[in-house]
A and B are shown apart, each in its own frame.
Chain A
Amino acid sequence: MKKIFYSFAILSLLFTSCNPMEDIYAEIDAQEVVISGESVYTLSDADYTALKLNFGNFSNLNDAKTMLPAFLSRKYPAWGKESLAAVTFKLFNKKNDQKSLITYKANDQDYTDAGLRFPNISNYEQMLQLLNSLYPTPDNRVLVSLTYTERDSGINSEVEDGFIYSNGTWEKSSGITLDEYKAMGESRAQFSSEDEALVKIPVYLKNKLAYEAPKAGDIEGVMYKLYDSNDRVVKSYVVFFIYDGANWAKYNNVINQTIKFGHDGISWVPDNTVKYTLTNADYTLVGNGQYNNFDVRTGKAEEPETKRLEKINTILLNNFPSSTDGQKYIVSYNIYNGANDVWSLAVIKEGNAYVKQ
């Protein structure tokens, strides 16, 4: 009797001492669960403080590229491979104004001396030729308020623009004509105060450039004039304005810059990957419109990955004809393998085709 109980117990132990799922579970548990997120983020003032950027901006792009990966790791500590983040931040981008002023009107001899055939300027190269001839060794950040003949569409007109010599080249700032001053309520070609100039110029720019389709972030230099009551002369000044998409505002030497980062499994690196989920129209395009998925069961049409890559190629080439070489996509698609699931494939454009990454 006892023997039977013992043998029963031993037999039971033999079969049950091991958990049937033990090995499979161990393998699964060893796999990290990767959370893959996608973010569009603009740094806040607090972020700059945390990054110890006391001026509230990055002083150059390289700083941003080196500092932001660590920042993203802190911001999204759970995110791993295939995460994407487009980070917008402020970048210090100084526009130099003048330290000294030269006011001059070019005569015919000046054009000839500069090696120009005609006494007028029809493009920027000619402008540089003239400036370099007039001022072969300019002081750094000198503003030349130059009156010259501009030829545009066969018509000559006399204009006055400002040119600041900065970082070894001349940067143009448009001048304001008498008619324009008049339109702004001035009787002479000058403002009565800097404050007035700063209030009126943004309105003036908005009107002047309305049909030139300015983009957010465009910077425009404007030269205006004030009467200096001490020196009893009219002086020119340059001030820069930046367009925010709707209005012009005085430029404070900071621009918004966006860098896209991707997580490579270890850290964030600059990456242009776009995540894309196939739509019903995409499935229809490649003949999978009935179920809007790829059938990956054994022996079915999209079982081999090469077949799926082929169809994804068709779809991406159709949807994003202007994508350039090196553009990466992570494409998510519905599959049926006995159950419905979503799989993804990471591809990169090489030549005129997408290949698996």
Chain B
Amino acid sequence: MKNFKNLLFIALFFVTATVLGQTKISGIIVDETNQPLPGASVLEKGTKNGTTTDFDGNFTLTPKSNSGVLVVSFIGYTRKEVAFSSSKANIGTIKLAEDAGSLDEIVVMATSFAIDRKTPVAVSTIKASDIERKLGTQEFPEILKSTPGVYATKSGGGFGDGRINMRGFNSENVAVMINGVPVNDMENGRVYWSNWAGLSDVTSAMQVQRGLGAAKVAVPSIGGTINILSKTSDVEKGGNIIASTGNNGFQKYGFTLSTGLMDNGFASTVSFSKTSGEGYVDGTQFEGYNYFVNFSKDINDSHKLSFTTFGSPQRHGQRQNRSTIATIRNAQSGIRFNPDWGYKNGQVTHIEDNFYHKSQTSLNHYWTISDVTSLSTAAYASYGSGGGGGTAGTNRDLFNQRLGGADQPVDFDNIVAINRANGSLGSEAILRASRNDHEWYGVLSTFKTKLNDNLDLIAGVDWRTYVGRHYREVTDLLGGDYFLDVNSRGVGNNVNRSSDALQVGDKMGYNNDGNVGWLGFFGQLEYGTDDFNAFLSTSVQRSSYQRVDYFQYDLSTEAGRDLATTDKVNLDGYSIKGGANYRIDDVQNIFANIGYFERPAIFDAVYQGFNNTNVNANAENEKIFSMELGYGIRSEKFAANINIYRTQWNDRSFSRSIPADPTVTGSEDFTANLLGVNALHQGVEFDFTYKYSDKLNFTGMLSLGDWTNANDLIDVPIFDENQVQRGTLDLLVDGLKVSDAAQTTAALGMLYNFWDKSSITVDYNYFADMYAQINPLDRADFDPSTPSVRGGNAWKAPNYSTFDASFRHGFNLGEFDTTVTVRVNNLLDTEYVADALDAADPLVWFGFGRTFSLDLKIKF
């Protein structure tokens, strides 16, 4: 090996010496549909001499030798090697085939990226170019709306407030991993997309694995896994500037600068942008910044280090509260109506807003130990700071006093006048923020070795420690002298302070920490032959929860200090899954996977009473059992996937505080953990791409879900710790449709290259069978004296469809490669209910009407 390298080095030396001032090698790189691939990397094999393609897929490279081999690669595509020589300076068209396996193998291993026709899971991969082309001003999860099983909305419509639901499961049950690191909230499992508002700019590839997925670490992949890979550092020196404008004052400016891969093996990319706008919805003004810094260093052939830090500090007005359709219909602003904002002293003032900055920093070490063994380690730290605004006070009805009718903005000046008149009695209505800061450190290490030609072993450790700091703070006294922070019984909320009269910035309401620890181990065996792949994977994990309260317990006493910090509650989970894929021929493949995992209850299920005395240390695990079958076709013009799945979600977390029985001496309050609430999510998913011609390309999908609650609980006795029956429970929900996501979705897309450098896309999306959000557990009846009644399904929102279109044109501005993109979402300005909450008169958020954006990108 070493000899060979030396030889190569000597050879190179000679070649370099003789061919200085060479002719340039040029060519064009396209995908299987003959679409140019901008940003593909072209490297002269054995050197650090490389370039990337321009918008039209063109590249030119001055090689260091007269003849040799070019390595052409692009994330998500099979790497290709093409010979060149001075006599063949124009290489012509190089076609790359789509394949996630083209990623650096060690990266694929560390991030659990699925490989087409090999990994036996249902997967959709979104190319960075599609994100750049189609996302525009949409919420990041919305880029996935044309993939099967996905329902993504903007929720209230604030910047970054989008949500995603997969196969009928909400974000608590959808794992999100960025560069292989799980990022679901450590306490409640949710994903806050506003934390990642700038991520789309620096995403190099995004993969949706539906169902169990390919993740080796323990993640809540009940609905699926969203796997996002950020950029690392570009090979080529240069950069770009971007400028965008759009509806409602949307503006975005940014730049990316890269040093390129330098001779010492060092490369760095820095990206920065600013986004601001008024928001489509009234009172949702926003301003955000995105930063991304990556340093990579190839220390030698076996060690590579990569340091990445990114974040998106932002502040945006929110629409927290939904309204009835009639309210919206009759409102002056129509579907833009937002009840949660007003004017104070002539300025827009948000009642509900969100401000947050979460930084994610990681140091990745890739170590190729030998030809058969590698180790990937990510050490990461994440700091979150921010929260959400809202109201407080004894007279919050003042926030209903509007500048006119009920559809008009809130009259803050009226509140200020009332609070001022109160003088030394203090404010009766104020603005506050609920803060949720955190510090999170983790190490994720994955080891892989080839046991023999067909068998690989992967094993790893996943360690995390997390502190979440929760408190409220006074943010605006609205004209009053102070705010009296007492509960409804007139008792101060913090027993450890001398005065309950608070000023702006003082902590109010509650103040506690959630300490979460996590230790997981995982292992996987992978078997592969020419036409067959299989894996068997297992993981175990222990979560530990501890609550520290700074308000409720007297910290000046020993007993109070003891109470203020709870004992650790340890909860264990595990998973086992396996799957196999068989390539019948060059065109067809079939796969199957099956898995079972037990997931511990979330933090809030353990500390339900929001205190340290009512601790539910015996919270039950949720059990998930999932099976899936898939079939795929990859022919020259037509590619398609069809898969069926069945996911059982058993013993859904369900606990209830049962008050003490006053007729029994010694009876105490206790928390009953109730088992047997099950849901069944099953369905069929189909997606295809069809290349009609070099110029015309179609994509489409159809997803049919049947997601229901699976059983009733009738007359179930509830026993306390002493095995004394303390009540009975009825829960009649068998067959009740799972809510909050469209069970039927379909999409059809068209891409047409009408000129050389110009193309349009039209995308059609259809959403049906969306039931308004309900919690089936709310139908529990603990009262044996009345007969339990089976409620009907939640309100069903009208089915709807939307059209999106984009136009893209590339040209040279002087010597700079320039791209203009125009996008229109909801072309026909269709009004539709995207989110609904079940009620006698359902409360809804409408999706946006027609929106547009215009981007300019200049590469240099």
Instruction: Please say whether chains A and B are actual partners in one complex.
Output: yes
Q: Is A28 a contact partner of B330 (Cβ separation < 8 A)?
A: yes
A27 to B775, CA, bound (A): 28
What residues of chain B lie closer than 8 Å to A23, measured between beta carbons? 798
What residues of chain B lie closer than 8 Å to A33, measured between beta carbons? 330
Contacting residues of chain B (476-497) with chain A, CB-CB under 8 angstroms: 487-489
Task: Given A12-B803, A20-B798, A21-B832, answer yes or no on A1-B322 (Cβ-Cβ < 8 Å).
Answer: no
Task: Given A29-B329, A280-B395, A299-B780, answer yes or no on A8-B833 (Cβ-Cβ < 8 Å).
Answer: no
Q: Is B692 a contact partner of A20 (Cβ separation < 8 A)?
A: no
Question: B698: CB under 8 A from chain A?
Answer: yes
A124 to B489, CA, bound (A): 58
Q: Is B330 a contact partner of A19 (Cβ separation < 8 A)?
A: no
Q: How far is the CB of B148 from chain A (nearest CB, A)?
A: 18
Closest to B695 in A: A1
What residues of chain B lie closer than 8 Å to A337, measured between beta carbons? 837, 839-840, 843
A284 to B837, CA, bound (A): 28
A33 to B626, CA, bound (A): 51
What residues of chain B lie closer than 8 Å to A334, measured between beta carbons? 397
Q: How far is the CB of B558 from chain A (nearest CB, A)?
A: 31
A4 to B323, CA, bound (A): 42
A320 to B321, CA, bound (A): 35
B contact residues, total (Cβ < 8 Å): 46
Q: How far is the CB of A288 from chain B (nearest CB, A)?
A: 9
Question: A330-345 interface mask toward B, CB cutoff 8 Å, 1 = contact, 0 = none?
Answer: 0000100111101000
Question: A292: CB under 8 A from chain B?
Answer: yes
Q: Is A1 a contact partner of B778 (Cβ separation < 8 A)?
A: no
Q: Is B843 a contact partner of A280 (Cβ separation < 8 A)?
A: no
Q: How large is the interface on A (under 10, 10 to 19, 20 to 34, 35 or more residues)?
A: 20 to 34
Question: A290: CB under 8 A from chain B?
Answer: yes
Q: Is B396 a contact partner of A292 (Cβ separation < 8 A)?
A: yes
Closest to A298 in B: B778
Question: B670: CB under 8 A from chain A?
Answer: no
Task: Given A29-B329, A280-B395, answer yes or no on A340-B488 (Cβ-Cβ < 8 Å).
Answer: no
A31 to B325, CA, bound (A): 13
Closest to A29 in B: B329
Q: Is B692 a contact partner of A297 (Cβ separation < 8 A)?
A: no
Question: A289: CB under 8 A from chain B?
Answer: yes
A15 to B339, CA, bound (A): 32
Question: A155: CB under 8 A from chain B?
Answer: no
A21 to B799, CA, bound (A): 9
Q: Is A4 a contact partner of B395 (Cβ separation < 8 A)?
A: no
What residues of chain B lie closer than 8 Å to A300, measured between beta carbons? 778
What residues of chain A lie closer than 8 Å to B329, measured between beta carbons? 25, 28-29
Question: B774: CB under 8 A from chain A?
Answer: yes
Question: Which interface residue of B339, B488, B696 has the most chain A CB atoms within 10 A?
Answer: B488
Question: B779: CB under 8 A from chain A?
Answer: yes
Q: Is A16 a contact partner of B828 (Cβ separation < 8 A)?
A: yes
Selected contact of A20 from candidates B339, B698, B777, B800, CB within 8 Å: B800
Task: Given A16-B828, A298-B838, A338-B843, answer yes or no on A21-B330 (Cβ-Cβ < 8 Å).
Answer: no
Question: A24: CB under 8 A from chain B?
Answer: yes
A70 to B308, CA, bound (A): 77
Selected contact of B839 from candidates A19, A297, A299, CB within 8 Å: A297
Q: Is A289 a contact partner of B798 (Cβ separation < 8 A)?
A: no
Task: Given A20-B799, A31-B326, A298-B791, answer yes or no on A280-B778 (Cβ-Cβ < 8 Å).
Answer: no
Closest to B698 in A: A4
What residues of chain B lie closer than 8 Å to A338, measured between beta carbons? 322, 837, 839, 843
Question: B394: CB under 8 A from chain A?
Answer: yes
Question: A209: CB under 8 A from chain B?
Answer: no
Question: B183: CB under 8 A from chain A?
Answer: no
A164 to B692, CA, bound (A): 111
Contacting residues of chain B (768-800) with chain A, CB-CB under 8 angstroms: 774-775, 777-780, 791, 798-800
Q: How far is the CB of A18 from chain B (nearest CB, A)?
A: 9
What residues of chain B lie closer than 8 Å to A50, measured between beta carbons? none
A28 to B330, CA, bound (A): 9
Q: Is B692 a contact partner of A339 (Cβ separation < 8 A)?
A: no
Question: B638: CB under 8 A from chain A?
Answer: no
What residues of chain A lie closer than 8 Å to B801, measured between beta carbons? 15-16, 20
Question: A5-48 interface mask toward B, CB cutoff 8 Å, 1 = contact, 0 = none?
Answer: 00010011001100111011100110101000000000000000
Question: B400: CB under 8 A from chain A?
Answer: yes
Question: B445-470 interface mask toward A, CB cutoff 8 Å, 1 = contact, 0 = none?
Answer: 00000000000000000000000000
Q: How far is the CB of A32 from chain B (nearest CB, A)?
A: 11
Closest to B801 in A: A15
Question: A260-302 interface mask toward B, CB cutoff 8 Å, 1 = contact, 0 = none?
Answer: 0000000000000000000010001000011010001111100
Q: Is A24 a contact partner of B325 (Cβ separation < 8 A)?
A: yes
A29 to B839, CA, bound (A): 20
What residues of chain B lie closer than 8 Å to A20, measured between beta carbons? 798-801, 830-833
What residues of chain A lie closer than 8 Å to B820, measured between beta carbons? none
Question: B764: CB under 8 A from chain A?
Answer: yes
Q: How far is the CB of B186 from chain A (nearest CB, A)?
A: 27
What residues of chain B lie closer than 8 Å to A24, measured between beta carbons? 325, 798
Q: Is A298 a contact partner of B774 (Cβ separation < 8 A)?
A: yes
Question: B555: CB under 8 A from chain A?
Answer: no
Question: B750: CB under 8 A from chain A?
Answer: yes
Q: How far is the CB of A157 from chain B (nearest CB, A)?
A: 58
Q: Is A1 a contact partner of B831 (Cβ separation < 8 A)?
A: no
A292 to B400, CA, bound (A): 14
What residues of chain B lie closer than 8 Å to A19, measured between beta carbons? 830-831
Closest to A288 in B: B488
Closest to A12 in B: B764
Q: Is B400 a contact partner of A339 (Cβ separation < 8 A)?
A: no
What residues of chain A lie closer than 8 Å to B489, measured between beta carbons? 289
A339 to B840, CA, bound (A): 13
What residues of chain A lie closer than 8 Å to B839, measured between beta carbons? 296-298, 337-338
Question: B766: CB under 8 A from chain A?
Answer: yes
What residues of chain A lie closer than 8 Å to B698, measured between beta carbons? 4
Selected contact of A298 from candidates B750, B764, B779, B828, CB within 8 Å: B779
Q: Is A21 a contact partner of B833 (Cβ separation < 8 A)?
A: yes
Closest to B781 in A: A299
Question: B748: CB under 8 A from chain A?
Answer: yes
What residues of chain A lie closer than 8 Å to B488, measured between beta carbons? 284, 289-290
Task: Given A20-B799, A29-B329, answer yes or no on A4-B831 (Cβ-Cβ < 8 Å).
Answer: no
Closest to A337 in B: B839
Q: Is B778 a contact partner of A21 (Cβ separation < 8 A)?
A: no
Q: Is A280 a contact partner of B798 (Cβ separation < 8 A)?
A: no
A222 to B775, CA, bound (A): 77
A1 to B695, CA, bound (A): 11
Closest to A24 in B: B325
Q: Is A11 a contact partner of B748 (Cβ separation < 8 A)?
A: yes
Q: Is B326 a contact partner of A339 (Cβ separation < 8 A)?
A: no
What residues of chain A lie closer than 8 Å to B777, measured between beta carbons? 299
What residues of chain A lie closer than 8 Å to B394, measured between beta carbons? 280
Q: How far is the CB of A332 from chain B (nearest CB, A)?
A: 10
What residues of chain A lie closer than 8 Å to B837, measured between beta carbons? 337-339
What residues of chain B lie closer than 8 Å to A340, measured between beta carbons? 321, 400
A23 to B329, CA, bound (A): 13
Question: B309-332 interface mask toward A, CB cutoff 8 Å, 1 = contact, 0 = none?
Answer: 000000000000111011001100
Q: How far is the CB of A91 from chain B (nearest CB, A)?
A: 38
Selected contact of B779 from candidates A21, A29, A299, A342, CB within 8 Å: A299
A23 to B692, CA, bound (A): 39
Q: Is A8 a contact partner of B750 (Cβ separation < 8 A)?
A: yes
A300 to B780, CA, bound (A): 10
Q: How far is the CB of B443 from chain A (nearest CB, A)?
A: 41
What residues of chain B lie closer than 8 Å to A284, measured between beta carbons? 488
Question: B835-847 interface mask toward A, CB cutoff 8 Å, 1 = contact, 0 = none?
Answer: 0011110010000
Q: Is A16 a contact partner of B843 (Cβ separation < 8 A)?
A: no
What are 7 A-B pairs with beta-carbon distances under 8 A?
A19-B831, A20-B800, A28-B326, A292-B397, A298-B774, A298-B779, A339-B323
12 extra interface residue pairs, beta carbon distance < 8 Å, beyond A4-B696, A20-B832, A24-B798:
A1-B693, A8-B750, A16-B803, A19-B830, A20-B801, A33-B330, A280-B394, A280-B395, A289-B489, A298-B775, A339-B321, A339-B323
A-B complex: 8 closest residue pairs judged by Cβ atoms: A299-B778, A20-B798, A20-B800, A339-B321, A338-B837, A15-B801, A289-B488, A290-B488
